[in-house]
Amino acid sequence: MISIFRKKQKWAGKLDLTNLPRHIAIIMDGNGRWATRRGLPRSAGHAAGAENFRTIATHCKDIGVEFLTVYAFSTENWRRPEEEVSAIMGLLEKYLGEALEKMERDRIKMKFFGEIEALPERLYALARRTEEIGARYEGFQVNICINYGGRDEIIRATKSYAEDFAAGEALELSEEQFSSRLFSAGVPEPELLIRPGGEKRLSNFLLWQAAYAELYFSDVLWPDFGTEQLERAISWFQGRNRRFGGVTK
């Protein structure tokens, strides 16, 4: 039997736990290529990637990160082969079902960004149930982007404002007002956005929210992007000079 998982090595570096990004966002890229390079079906890569997501989420919670947002399935991913889409949906259903069993113990709050009403009925019901349970908890929150696209999110928010304006509501369109209409309403903007897998683009992910995020790109494919790689990314972030358009004092 071929093991599709690789043992992760402990990073010898040290993090400043008093200077962690409050919110980390990750584009989980490279699952299919990871599997192909090993002569495995692409579904095996998605399974490895889903397992790694749990490892990374747990580590974020353990070290004190408050929010983790991951790109699980984009609005464009429906264009992939039907077999692959079905495998991804099956994995999402499997891991959400397992998450429901452990949420009471782990007390991890989960939210979903995207048009989840378009998901298969059982997966949609699981997502809603997960959100309902998580609403009782305070602390670490995982946001899972499913059937999500940044441009679509901005259009939805714009339509929402236009409808209220047409209805006669006196609303000043500010950044705060607009942000309140996004899927991420109430969640602080990500400070660190990580993309494993070798690509160097945002791919329609958190286009509004990532305006001032530090962007970290890695050639490591997502299933191999373990806790060591995560801590390297955070360490890099801690060395950044975040000026937000100003100058260093």
Catalytic residue annotation: 29, 77
Tokens 């509004």 correspond to 208
The HSE-up count of residue 215 (CA atoms within 13 Å, CB side) is 14
> What is the spatial distance between Cα 204 and Cα 201, in angstroms, rounded to a whole number?
9
Q: Look up residue 167 and give its DSSP letter.
A: T
Q: Tell me the angle at which helices 82-106 and 121-134 cross, rounded to the nearest 10 degrees.
A: 20
User: Bridge-partner residues for 71, per DSSP?
Assistant: 27, 145
93 contacts: CB under 8 Å, gap ≥ 6: 120, 122, 123, 126
Closest among 137, 148, 117, 142 to 61, alpha carbons compared: 142
Q: What's the Cα-to-Cα distance from 125 to each of 16, 108, 110, 133, rounded to whole Å? A: 40, 18, 14, 12
